[in-house]
Structure 1
Amino acid sequence: MTADILVGDCRELLRTIDDNSVDSSVTDPPYELGFMGKTWDSTG
């Protein structure tokens, strides 16, 4: 088993990853994002 940590813009990084090669992903939504009437971060 190996683990790789990729840091960067997902729109660029996803192009470099082989199909069906990812088992799990941890993401961080952009700040100032409204979701279901909630605000994640009111500073900016």
Structure 2
Amino acid sequence: MAPHTFLWHDYETFGLNPRRDRPAQFAGIRTDAELNEVGEPLM
């Protein structure tokens, strides 16, 4: 069985209405249970 990991993400949009506004930026980091970074960051 593969070890469990977490994906921490930040998602930025233009404006305040999530139904109407477009994404501006996404970034993510995957960590293991001890919060050590796993793999390369996503941008």
Q: Answer yes or no: same fold by TM over 0.5.
A: no
TM, length-normalised to structure 1: 0.21
Q: Report 1 or 2 for greater relative contact order, CA contacts < 8 Å, sequence distance ≥ 6.
A: 2
Q: Greater strand percent: which structure?
A: 2
TM, length-normalised to structure 2: 0.21
